[in-house]
């Protein structure tokens, strides 16, 4: 008779869900507490259209990953404050921008609900200066930008969030 191989006693960290993002529509949690202030496809103020949505957050709000995935980019990006790009299953990338600080690093595997950073305390992303103790560059404010891309094409993130499914109509 073959002897049983003992299993290791230490718990394994939960692996990322292999569920494609398509199957999680209407089930994701907001990455921060806030309210929707600009919709996908609305004017961006400079003649173009938004490829994502903006959430007005509370000052200093924590920002969490809306889904399981792997961080592909973490750092400052062109006046958007700190930005994170998370690769999710099913050919999706989730962009979160406007953060004041980012806790995640490139290559890190993150789970839905895991804290990734923090929003600023100022009312907008462009307030800066010595009086606030902030760097003179854009340092992030209270507007979190959320963009979903599938195979590099922007898609409206609203249908994925449970909080909006009930509240938003039309």
- Total residue length of the chain: 170
Per-residue pLDDT at 106 exceeds 80: yes
Per-residue pLDDT at 11 exceeds 80: no
Q: Which of 4-18, 32-46, 154-168 has the lowest mean pLDDT?
A: 4-18
- Tell me the C-alpha distance between 86 and 68, whole Å: 8
pLDDT tens-digit series, residues 59-97 = 999 999 999 999 999 999 888 889 999 999 999 999 999
Look over the chain and give the mean of its residue pLDDT values, rounded to a whole number. 81
Buried b (16+ CB within 10 A) or exposed e, 131-149: eeebeeebbbbbbbbbbbb
Per-residue pLDDT at 14 exceeds 60: no
Per-residue pLDDT at 137 exceeds 70: no
- Tell me the C-alpha distance between 165 and 123, whole Å: 27
Per-residue pLDDT at 121 exceeds 80: yes
The predicted structure's pLDDT at residue 3: 58
- What's the pLDDT band for 44 if we cut at 50, 70, 90? confident
The predicted structure's pLDDT at residue 168: 45
- What's the pLDDT band for 19 if we cut at 50, 70, 90? confident
Q: How far is CA 21 from CA 13, 69, 151, 159, in A?
A: 21, 10, 12, 11
Per-residue pLDDT at 129 exceeds 50: no
């Amino acid at each position: 008779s073959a002897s049983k191989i003992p299993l290791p006693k230490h718990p394994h960290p939960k692996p990322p869900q292999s569920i494609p993002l398509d199957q999680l529509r209407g089930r994701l949690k907001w990455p921060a507490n806030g309210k929707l202030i600009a919709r996908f496809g609305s004017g961006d103020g400079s003649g173009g259209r938004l490829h994502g949505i903006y959430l007005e957050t509370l000052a200093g709000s924590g920002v969490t990953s809306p889904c399981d995935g792997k961080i592909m980019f973490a750092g400052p990006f062109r006046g958007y404050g700190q930005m994170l790009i998370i690769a999710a299953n099913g050919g999706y990338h989730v962009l979160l921008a406007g953060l004041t600080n980012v806790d995640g690093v490139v290559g890190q595997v993150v789970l839905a609900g895991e804290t990734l950073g923090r929003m600023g305390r100022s009312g907008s992303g462009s307030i800066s200066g010595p009086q606030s103790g902030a760097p003179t560059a854009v340092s992030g404010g209270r507007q979190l930008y959320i963009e979903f891309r599938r195979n590099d094409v922007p898609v409206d993130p609203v249908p994925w969030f449970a909080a909006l499914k009930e509240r938003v109509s039309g």
